[in-house]
């Protein structure tokens, strides 16, 4: 028997760029409370300077966010709502049903455990369900504890903390003159990337984000690209059941005034301005190594090495995959060109 199969158009992932003051506020909260990596953020020094303008309520709320990692849930909720204003986000926190809140807040693990996630949502009053689901995240830096907390805290207390930290951070950050400049840069970034090539989603993701690599994932049909200032220079990724979110640094050109050195130059020279980091970079240029191998070679603790490597990573001079570090020689070579360009020297 012969079969005639009608050709179907190939399905591709839908890519969109989305920015708002809500995203920037939530990412600011996320970045400020990320103690392990905050020293590599471009805004770290400014945050330290601005700390004395923070209200006692904000400082207490930030401490609780750091301890609970509820910033993760706030990002999930904003992805669900796409609130335009802070008031819209706060209203949604009050109006959403408890079951829907848990459906959004409970992180996706994989297709195999999706049934367990749904059962936990349906039985959100049963702490034991959260304890069992948390086991799937055992060993993760924060998600195991985050899931357990969702089962231990009353939803009213979770929402109260989220509302307080969101409102207080917004009230704090918008008093600084740079806030409006950030908003203009983010609006322009979104406008410039409204028309994306739907036939080449992977290439478009890399182009818009300035180099972020995306590998298609099962059941992910939407990739949302969110530009930011507060989390610079990092790209933060987050996965839901059907959506991949990539938070990427807004284009440098939209933030740098004429005659000022770019943050790329400042961050790069900070990374290179240390003897140990230069030696680490030289070693990795010769070949990739694990943290264990570097620790043995340099006779330095893993904690110290991790700190120094994170500074090199923030300048994109090194990258890590599955615990193995390697030098990004192309980035290192381009860095010299950027310095010559800023100084007006020929390459």
Among residues 105, 163, 321, 341, which one has the least CA distance to residue 313? 321
The CA-based dihedral angle spanning residues 170, 188, 19, 229, taken in that order and rounded to the nearest 10 degrees: -60
Alpha helices in the chain (DSSP H): 21-32, 44-50, 56-68, 71-81, 86-95, 98-105, 114-122, 127-134, 143-152, 155-173, 178-192, 201-209, 263-272, 275-286, 291-298, 302-314, 329-343
For tokens 């740098």, name the residue.
256
Q: Are 93 and 162 in contact (CB under 8 A)?
A: yes
Give the H or E element holding residue 289: strand 289-290
Predicted local confidence at residue 4, as pLDDT: 53
DSSP-assigned letter for residue 10 = P
pLDDT in tens, the chain (347 residues): 555 555 555 567 999 999 999 999 999 999 999 998 898 898 999 999 999 999 999 999 999 999 999 999 999 999 999 999 999 999 999 999 999 999 999 999 999 999 999 999 999 999 999 999 999 999 999 999 999 999 999 999 999 999 999 999 999 999 999 999 999 999 999 999 988 988 899 999 999 998 888 888 889 999 999 999 999 989 999 999 999 999 999 987 777 665 677 777 777 888 888 899 999 989 999 999 999 999 889 898 988 888 889 889 888 888 888 889 998 888 888 788 778 877 878 65
Query: CATH 1.10.10.10: which residues of the chain?
Result: 263-343
- For domain 263-343, give its CATH number from 3.20.20.140, 3.40.640.10, 1.10.10.10, 3.10.310.10: 1.10.10.10
Supply 5's token pair. 């199969």
């Amino acid at each position: 028997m012969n079969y005639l199969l009608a050709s179907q158009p190939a399905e591709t992932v839908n890519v969109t760029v989305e920015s708002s003051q809500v995203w920037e506020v939530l990412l600011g909260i996320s970045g400020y409370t990320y103690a392990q990596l905050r020293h590599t953020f471009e805004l770290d020094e400014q945050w330290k300077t601005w700390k004395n303008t923070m209200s006692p309520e904000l400082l207490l709320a930030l401490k609780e966010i750091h301890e609970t990692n509820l910033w993760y849930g706030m990002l999930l909720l904003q992805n669900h709502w796409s609130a335009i204003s802070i008031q819209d986000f706060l209203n949604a926190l009050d109006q959403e049903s408890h079951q829907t809140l848990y459906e959004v807040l409970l992180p996706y693990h994989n297709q195999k455990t999706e049934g367990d996630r749904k059962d936990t949502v349906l039985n959100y009053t049963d702490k034991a369900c959260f304890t069992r689901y948390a086991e799937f995240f055992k060993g993760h830096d924060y998600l195991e504890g985050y899931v357990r907390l969702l089962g231990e805290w009353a939803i009213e207390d979770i929402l109260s903390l989220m509302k307080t930290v969101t409102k207080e951070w917004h009230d704090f950050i918008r008093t600084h003159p740079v806030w409006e400049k950030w908003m203009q840069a983010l609006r322009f970034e979104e406008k410039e990337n409204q028309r994306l090539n739907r036939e080449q989603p992977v290439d478009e993701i890399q182009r818009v984000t300035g180099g972020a690599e995306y590998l298609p994932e099962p059941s992910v049909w939407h990739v949302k690209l969110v530009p930011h200032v507060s989390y610079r220079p990092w790209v933060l990724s987050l996965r839901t059941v059907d959506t991949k979110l990539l938070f990427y640094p807004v284009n440098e050109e939209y933030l740098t005034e004429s005659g000022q050195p770019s943050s790329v130059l400042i961050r790069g020279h900070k990374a290179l301005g240390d003897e140990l980091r230069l030696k680490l970079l030289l070693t990795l240029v010769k070949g990739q190594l694990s943290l264990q191998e570097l620790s043995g070679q340099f006779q330095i603790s893993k904690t110290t090495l991790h700190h120094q490597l994170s500074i090199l990573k923030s300048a994109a001079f090194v990258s890590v995959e599955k615990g193995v570090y390697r030098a990004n020689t192309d980035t290192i070579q381009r860095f010299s060109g950027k310095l010559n360009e800023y100084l007006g020297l020929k390459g």
